[in-house]
Amino acid sequence: MAEARVLLIAFPSQENVAACCRLALGLTSKNVKVTFVALKKYVNQIKKVFSAPSFGNVEVEGLEEPRNRLFNRSKSMEDSFMPYLKKLIDARNDEAKEITFTCLMADRYLPWSKDVAKRLEIPWFVFFGNSAMEARMHQVAHELHIKRKLKVKGDRLSGVDKIVKAPGLTFLRPRDLLWSCSAYPAESLATGEFLIGAAGLVINTFEDLELDTINSIQNALPKPSGSAMDTKLFLIGPMSNDITSGRLSHSAAAEDVSTSWMRIPPIQVLFSRKSTGARFGAGFQRCIEWFNRQIPCSVLYVHFGTISRLHPQEIVALAHALQSCQERFVWVLSQDHTHTELAMIADLQRRVEGRGRIVGGWVPQTQLLCHPCVAAFLSHCDWTSCLDAVVAGIPVLAWPQISDQHANARLLSNVLEMAIPLTKNMGQPPPARAGLANAIMSFVANLLSAKEQRSFLDEKDIETGIRMVMRGDEGKHAKHRAVVLRGKAASAVYENEGESETNWEALVTELQHIHI
């Protein structure tokens, strides 16, 4: 059995690098050697956080950013990677320096790495740090594009309504799709082509979360050209921070959450501006002390990540809603804000002193969500946050903004039933319309993109949503469903027996039996 050595390439964004980092740590825990390639600025942050022993067999390669920074980050990463590729090819021609990789693994948004694998004469695997649902979107879009049923027209795709008719995606609306929020459909379609010929798809999910979608992906996977080997599917999620520290055992899964929440290592600190020294400042420590003084299931956790940005009008509405709802809350601010916004937020902190906390910078979100005082999560619904909520067993008040967040929110609310969508005129009955008029209005609304359809939520909408998730019957049902899914997530990563653990082992076995 050959020693497996993986060339792992990360897309240049914080979230994607963090996901690939988790993948690297998971592989090295199985005695697979990994060369982790990312832009140097991310590598430097990784080295500040992890000591050499904690990063196991991972060899980290930092790439220079290209002189001409392109808005297309995939192309920019390709330009940065070319000198390293030349180094690898030169080494292949010198037996004394030869570096032999078993395979290449790359983020889904780096389709050019397929050609790298071919030049190195090794198979490639596509890594989805996000959902199987997103993988299925790319798969279907590529199929329709090949059949000329889906066309690129400028910065839009024509025919997206056909995507949501495909098996595994029928719970979505056209406006939930990636391309409703993306101005670069051609680049996104390239991801679908990237799947063709891959040795495997590695996805951060598990069966009980997306069973129908997973089955649809599996049924549509083609065989690589000229090979008898099927493209294989490896479901290794949820890759929460538990995964980086080893698999859950029954004892860990059953451990009292009042103590187990502190056990999870903070991988989010990778990208903290204060990632050296104590990692988190005194403000965070005061927040933890405040958490420990709260009664169970009494606090709303509010966080919108580092990429999604609320409109200033909505920031004001959220602040007013948090003040007027009378619920306890923690609002994590991970973005830069204007002086006006910061002044308004500081004023909110004074007004809710004792009932709410506002924390700046990066925090270990998984740990906080697992604290017994947390009752619900107001989230933009990026996939990492969705999995964090599942792992913690916390219901979500869904306020999606961009990219895959609308589809994720739809999955959580309409399929998994562990989320309540935050919408305009929250909790109010729709105006009465004639049957045909209502059908026409619904049809038009579904065709509009998220950008076209967006109308700002006001204070009343947000306050109503908070009350529903914290105290309403809808919130109680979502909480029940979240707890059920938490159990299924724990079972998936259960040591030696869980579905995801079995997939990890199958992936490692696959890597060890690759003949190059």
Reduce the DSSP state of residue 361 to 3 states and report it. coil
Closest listed residue to residue 481, CA positions, set 394, 359, 409, 407: 394
Asked if the model's pLDDT at residue 268 lies above 90, the reply is no
From CA 149, how far away is CA 443, in angstroms rounded? 20
For 124-138, how does the pLDDT look when each residue is reduced to its tens digit (9 = 90+)? 999 999 999 999 999
Q: What pLDDT band is residue 260 in, cutting at 50, 70 and 90?
A: very low
Q: What pLDDT band is residue 92 in, cutting at 50, 70 and 90?
A: confident
Q: 252-492: which CATH number, 2.30.42.10, 3.40.50.2000, 2.40.128.130, 1.10.3720.10?
A: 3.40.50.2000
Rounded to whole angstroms, what are the CA distances from 124 to 113, 199, 232, 358, 475?
8, 6, 11, 44, 43
Closest listed residue to residue 355, CA positions, set 321, 324, 327: 327
Identify whether the C-beta of residue 107 lies closer than 8 Å to the C-beta of residue 20: yes
Query: Which of 26-30, 161-165, 194-198, 412-416: highest mean pLDDT?
Result: 412-416
CA angle in degrees (0–180, nearest 5) for 516-116-77: 145
Query: For the chain, what percent of residues have pLDDT higher than 70?
Result: 77
Asked if the model's pLDDT at residue 94 lies above 80, the reply is no
Q: What was the pLDDT predicted at 227?
A: 52
Q: What pLDDT band is residue 108 in, cutting at 50, 70 and 90?
A: very high
Q: What was the pLDDT predicted at 283?
A: 62
For 7-28, how does the pLDDT look when each residue is reduced to its tens digit (9 = 90+)? 999 998 888 998 999 999 999 9
For 138-161, how does the pLDDT look when each residue is reduced to its tens digit (9 = 90+)? 999 999 999 999 988 877 888 889
Identify whether the C-beta of residue 461 lies closer than 8 Å to the C-beta of residue 319: no
In this structure, what token pair is assigned to residue 110? Answer: 């780096």
Q: What are phi and psi of 336, to 5 degrees?
A: -80, 140
Q: Which residue has the higher pLDDT, 277 or 123?
A: 123
Return the CATH fold of 5-132+197-242+494-512.
Answer: Rossmann fold (3.40.50)
E-assigned strands of 356-514? 356-360, 374-379, 396-398, 419-421
**Burial of 261 by CB count in 10 Å (0-12 exposed, 13-18 middle, 19+ buried)?**
buried
Q: Which residue has the higher pLDDT, 221 or 309?
A: 221
Asked if the model's pLDDT at residue 36 lies above 70, the reply is yes
Closest listed residue to residue 161, CA positions, set 184, 142, 185, 180: 180
Identify whether the C-beta of residue 400 lies closer than 8 Å to the C-beta of residue 381: yes
H-assigned helices in 205-262: 207-220, 241-244, 250-253, 257-260
Q: What was the pLDDT predicted at 259?
A: 33
Mean pLDDT of the 423-442 span? 54
Rounded to whole angstroms, what are the CA distances from 356 to 77, 224, 501?
42, 55, 39
E-assigned strands of 288-327? 299-303
Identify whether the C-beta of residue 462 lies closer than 8 Å to the C-beta of residue 317: yes
C-alpha Rg value of the chain to the nearest Å? 23
Q: Where in the chain are all domains bearing CATH 3.40.50.2000?
A: 5-132+197-242+494-512, 252-492
Least confident of 60-74, 214-228, 339-353, 448-462: 448-462
Identify whether the C-beta of residue 24 lies closer than 8 Å to the C-beta of residue 36: yes
Contacts within 8 Å (CB) and 24+ apart, 254-259: 257/370, 257/371, 257/372, 258/372
DSSP 494: B
Closest listed residue to residue 59, CA positions, set 5, 139, 114, 1: 5
CA angle in degrees (0–180, nearest 5) for 390-107-143: 90
Q: Report the mean per-residue pLDDT for the chain.
A: 82
Task: Provide DSSP, 17-29.
Answer: HHHHHHHHHHHHT
In this structure, what token pair is assigned to residue 417? Answer: 């039933």
